[in-house]
Amino acid sequence: MGRTAIVTGASKGIGLSIANNLSLDGKTVIGIARSDPEQDFPGLYYKIDLENDTAAVEALADIVAKHQVDILVNNAGYSLPASAQDTTLKDFDKQISVNLRGALLCSQAVIPGMRSRKFGRIVHMASRAMMGKEDRTAYGAAKAGLVSFSRGWALELGPAGITVNTVSPGPIQTELFLRNHPPGTKKYQDLVESMPVGRLGIPEDIAHAVKFLVADEAGYITGQTIHVCGGMTIGAPGI
């Protein structure tokens, strides 16, 4: 049976890789992001700012009215590193809004249809930063909140055939990551050498985990967090 998936934050990086992977797996993909995609998108695409509550709710209602959405991947995220002392309320609110409020809005849009069809897959995108990382006060808290969403919603939605899980990436070589960790630098090499698997991740590593969790056959997995981190959340070798 063909499934339809919404992927948020789908314009580039991990979100675009997830969209491409799901499309290759036979899913109909609907991308959502604030900006145009950086390359050809493998499906329908909507420019939606999830921080604009009224416009976002209306746009999402229009999407679910036209499409039977079986899968939602809440990948849209935003991070503005700052220490606890230097985190402003404005920056805190923006990170909570994009990472948590956006996921809630999208989920509320698709859950009624999933309930009526007795099938649904929701995947939230967290981050290793939620395990503890300097200068990630707001971002880490927001990503930890997505794990709480998954655990609570798994209990609420399980009887309706809807699973809710979280994927938590470690260091992934996106454009932004490579800009901050240029290959060939000591910063980049030190990080590679600290990884138990001896390499950094690529967006496709995350996409494979998502594809597994949204499969029809994954209906007995819910409320879980999968750390796709090369072993980083266990600890660096020798420590």
Q: Which two tokens stand for residue 137?
A: 């006060």
d(CA 108, CA 218): 22
Residue 239: pLDDT band (50, 70, 90) is very low
Q: Other C-beta atoms within 10 Å of 59: how many?
A: 18
Could you say which of 3.40.50.1370, 3.40.50.720, 3.30.530.20, 3.30.1360.230 is the CATH number of the domain covering 4-173+201-228? 3.40.50.720
Domain boundaries, the chain: 4-173+201-228
Q: Give pTM, 2 decimals.
A: 0.94
**Residue 124 · residue 214 · CB < 8 Å:** no
> Which segments of 115-230 are extended strands (E)?
120-125, 162-169, 225-228
From 45, 46, 78, 139, active-site residue? 139
- Average pLDDT for the chain: 94
Note the pLDDT of residue 58.
Answer: 96
Does residue 46 carry a catalytic annotation? no
Three-state DSSP class for 121? strand
Burial class (CB in 10 A: 0-12, 13-18, 19+), 161: middle
Note the pLDDT of residue 1.
Answer: 65
pLDDT digits (tens, 9 = 90+) for 93-130: 999 999 999 999 999 999 999 999 999 999 999 988 88
More confident residue, 116 or 235: 116
On the question of pLDDT at 132 being above 90, the answer is no
